[in-house]
């Protein structure tokens, strides 16, 4: 499905399904990416508080969540696109007219 880490192909190489099924399709992937990123930030913050308790210092406590805020969205983006497409197909099954006729053997 991908020709690079952030470059999604226009169509699936196996079935010809367009990667952008409807206008705004990737809003769901952005939402998934945001939820996972905030979750990672929350986990690193809680772990930092537990690890430094009772002498919790603010500056060192904020570094891991800031790193997570930058790294997780960049690393998780292709996975969120793939997962969102799978969820979208589960919610709205693929119809024959969405597929490229060359892949249907017609």
pLDDT-derived band at 95 (thresholds 50, 70, 90) equals confident
Q: pTM to 2 decimals? A: 0.79
Asked if 65 and 44 count as a contact pair (C-beta separation under 8 A), the reply is yes
Asked if 103 and 15 count as a contact pair (C-beta separation under 8 A), the reply is yes
64-100 in b/e form (b: 16+ CB < 10 A) is bbeebeeebbeebbbebbebbbeebeeeeeeeeeebe
Kindly tell me if the per-residue pLDDT of 106 is higher than 90.
no
State the average pLDDT over residues 83-102: 88
Asked if 97 and 21 count as a contact pair (C-beta separation under 8 A), the reply is no
Asked if 95 and 16 count as a contact pair (C-beta separation under 8 A), the reply is no
18 or 42: whose pLDDT is higher?
A: 42
Kindly tell me if the per-residue pLDDT of 100 is higher than 80.
no
Summarised one tens digit per residue, pLDDT across range 25-82 is: 889 999 999 999 999 999 999 999 998 888 888 888 889 999 999 999 999 999 999 9
91 or 24: whose pLDDT is higher?
A: 91
Q: Could you give the C-alpha distances from 18 to 9, 27, 36, 75, 92, in angstroms and in order? A: 9, 16, 25, 23, 14
Q: Indicate the SS3 state at residue 11.
A: strand
């Amino acid at each position: 499905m991908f020709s690079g880490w952030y470059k999604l192909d226009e169509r699936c190489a196996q079935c010809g399904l367009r990667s952008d099924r409807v206008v705004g399709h990737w809003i769901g992937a952005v939402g998934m990416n945001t939820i996972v990123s905030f979750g990672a930030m929350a986990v690193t913050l809680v772990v930092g508080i537990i690890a430094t308790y009772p002498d919790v210092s603010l500056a060192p406590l904020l570094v891991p969540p800031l790193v997570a805020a930058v790294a997780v969205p960049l690393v998780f983006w292709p996975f969120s696109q793939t997962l969102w497409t799978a969820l979208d197909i589960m919610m709205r099954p693929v119809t024959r007219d969405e597929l490229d006729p060359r892949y249907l053997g017609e």
